Every structure is written in C-alpha cells, then in structure tokens.
Structure 1
Amino acid sequence: MVRDLEENFHGNRLLFVNWEHHLMFCAPMALPLPPAMPFGALVNEVLPSLYGSHPDFAKIDWSTVQWKHGRENFTPDLGKSLDENGLTHKSVLRFTTPGLTGLSGSGA
C-alpha cells in the first residue's frame, strides 16, 4: 500500500521546499498544501513560518530570488495557484537568494 498518494492528503498535495545554501535547514520541508493556494501565499505566509527564524530570511529581496521546480529554472506567478504554476503532488521547489549564503557565509 502506498501511503503518500495524493488522494491520501485530504485535498492537499505534498510540496517539498528547500532554501539553497541555508543548511541550518538540512533537508527540504514536506508541506501538505491545497492546490488552489496562491503562490504568493506560499511566499508571504508559509515560508516565513518555516524559515523566519534564520537571520537571512528578513534580508531576502524576493524580486531577485531564483526558483527551480525540480531541476528546471522556474518563474512563479505569485497571483496564480500552486496548481496553475504547474506544481503537482510531490513537486520539489528550491529557491536561491543571491547574496545570502547562510550564517556568516557558511551555508548554514
């Protein structure tokens, strides 16, 4: 029996999110999120609750963030839903913050 099928998440999809070069968070976060959630809500509401404790988080210039969906470069539309942005069940989303490379540049 496969337990991580989309239908087992009560209308949500798993989305794996990783902040590159910030290994204080050593692995992608697995988030059960509704497909209709706007990408902007992920950025403005969800990510601060996950990564807000890191000193670099408050310094992020979101207009310069580089995103990857899987291994491909990705430009999200903040006003569109996760689904409309092409994020499916168990998608991997990574973001890099130019100029911010962890605690004292350590990658942590």
Structure 2
Amino acid sequence: MSVVAIAPYEFTPQDVRENFPAPLLYIGWEDHLMFCAPFCLPLPPDTPFGALSAAVLPGIYGYHPDWARIDWAKVEWKKNGQPWTPDPAKSLAENGLVHKDAIRFRTPGLTGIKGSFS
C-alpha cells in the first residue's frame, strides 16, 4: 500500500545496522504453520552458514516434530524471495547476507505436523 505524505517525510531510520549488536537476519521455515512468521536474529557476519542448521536453528525450530527428519542435503533455500544455494563452509557475509536479509528454507517431503500444510 502506498503512502501519500502531505508534507516532507524525512527521518533517520531506527533499524540501521549500527543500532544492533550484529546484523539482523530473518529466517523462516516454509510449509510449517506452527511458526507464523520468520524469526529475526542478530547474527555476526563471520558465523559459518553451516552453523545455522547445527547450532542456531535447533534452538528455535527444534521442538517441531519434523525437525529431526530434515535431510539438509535436500533443503531448498531462498534469499529475499529468490532461489539461492548457500555454501555451508562460508560465512554469512561470504554467502552475501547483509543486515535485514530474509532467508527461507523448504524441506521437501515435510509439510508441517501430519502434513497440515499440504
């Protein structure tokens, strides 16, 4: 929805990188309605991408019954809405992730509790 201002609308945004301890990264799990929106996490840019599935994501998604069944070799990724193939050995920054980027992952064959999304 567009906005039409009746006067100049100039301000300093409050969500600039400098106002956070680390760049913010939005991470969402497709087809899993138990999580209504992506999580927003401050993650240092030197974090290895592979650490997301091993150390970061289990803390936020690990209690879902599908979590233990994920085949990470088959996960499909999107970055800012576009198909994307990250390198797990490289850092978040080396994978091109910057402040307020959004990544989503889809786990083929897993569509929510008892297939609730299918």
Matches within 5 A, 1:80-95: 80-95=90-105
Moved over 2 A (4+): none
Computing the radius of gyration from Cα coordinates, the structure with the larger value is 2
CA RMSD of aligned residues (A): 1.2
What is residue 57 of structure 1 aligned with on the other side? 67
Identity %: 58
Asked if 1:14 corresponds to 2:7, the answer is no
CA distance in 2, matches of 1:23, 1:3: 30
Which AA in structure 2 matches 1:36?
A: D
- In the alignment, residue 34 of structure 2 is paired with which amino acid? M
- Aligned residue pair count: 107
CA distance in 2, matches of 1:107, 1:90: 27
SS at match of 1:98: coil
Q: Please name the residue that 1:27 is paired with.
A: 37
- Is the partner of 1:45 in helix, strand or coil? helix
Post-superposition Cα deviations, 1:25-72, rounded to whole Å, max 9, x if no partner, equal 000000000011000111110011010000000000000000000121
Instruction: Specify every segment of 5 or more residues in structure 1 that has no aligned partner in the other structure, as ranges.
Output: none
- Could you report, residue by residue, the CA deviation over 1:71-108 in whole angstroms, capped at 9, with x for unpaired residues? 21111111100000011100000000000000111029
Structure 2's unaligned 5+ residue stretches are 1-11
CA separation in 2, counterparts of 1:42 and 1:8? 23
Q: Please name the residue that 2:83 is paired with.
A: 73
What corresponds to 2:14 in structure 1? 3
For 2:53 and 2:44, how far apart are their aligned partners in 1? Answer: 14
Q: How many Å apart are 1:23 and its aligned residue?
A: 1.1
1:17 aligned counterpart, secondary structure: strand
Whole-Å separation in 2 of the counterparts to 1:43 and 1:4: 26
Q: Say which SS state the counterpart of residue 56 (structure 2) adopts.
A: helix
CA-CA distance at 1:20 after TM superposition: 0.2
